[in-house]
Amino acid sequence: MRIGLIGGMSWESSAEYYRLLNELVRERLGGLHSAECLLLSVDFAEVERLQVSGEWERAGELLAAAARDLEAGGAELLLLCTNTMHKVADAVAGAASVPLLHLADTTAQAVLGAGVREVGLLGTAFTMEQSFYRDRLAGHGLSVWVPPADDRALVHRVIYEELCLGIVREESRAAYQEVIGRLVDRGARGVVLGCTEIELLIGQEHSPVPVFPTTRLHAEAAVDLALSRRAP
């Protein structure tokens, strides 16, 4: 089953998707096996401009065109390699006849599978402050908390000014750990790393409660589905 990746938001995390998909297929099939996939990487500067200006319909059209191009190239399953742009997931899914594997759904399934019901959510300001992502998680029966305003601003700034540029700073990791600690103090029993770049900074060793790395979980779910439909 050929996986189509709508990436570039940012390419730093899209590179992680590509690495994870290939590593997971090799682990499961052995030998020289690798993932059959297509990557269409958009210009993130244009997407970020549309985010900031609130032109979500135009952003949806841009990513819908990418979905159509991937389907034309033979993709049989689509991954939108960004949490924030799942705000326009319906537009992307509606543009192609092949399924879109929704990132928030794969994350929620992993959270529930770990026996966790109350989670903190870290991500861009759009993901934390708007309802599209929180509501999707809540639809699976999860209680979702986001950090207070100052912490949200810090988390957002580090994503766009550092992680999207491939910059990983120890002081930012320490600041994120403090944000996580405050979420745990409020009752979070797990933390969703709801931005695909955050995994470049935060791992399980940096949190007192389970973290749910959305990039890895998305890639694992895609490989599960792709291999389940692989011809013998």
> Mind telling me the catalytic residues?
82, 195
C-alpha 156: how far from its chain's center? Answer: 15
192/142 Cα distance (integer angstroms): 11
**Contact present, 74 and 68 (Cβ < 8 Å):** no
Strands of the sheet with 190-193, listed across from one edge: 143-145, 118-122, 190-193, 211-213
User: What is the CB neighbour count within 10 angstroms for residue 208?
Assistant: 10
Spatial separation of the C-alpha atoms in residues 45 and 22, rounded to whole Å: 27
Structure tokens at 77: 């399953």
Q: What is the DSSP pairing of strand 77-80 with strand 37-41?
A: unpaired
How crowded is residue 135: how many other Cβ atoms within 10 Å of its Cβ? 11
Residue with tokens 């949190």: 207
Pairing of strands 3-7, 37-41: parallel
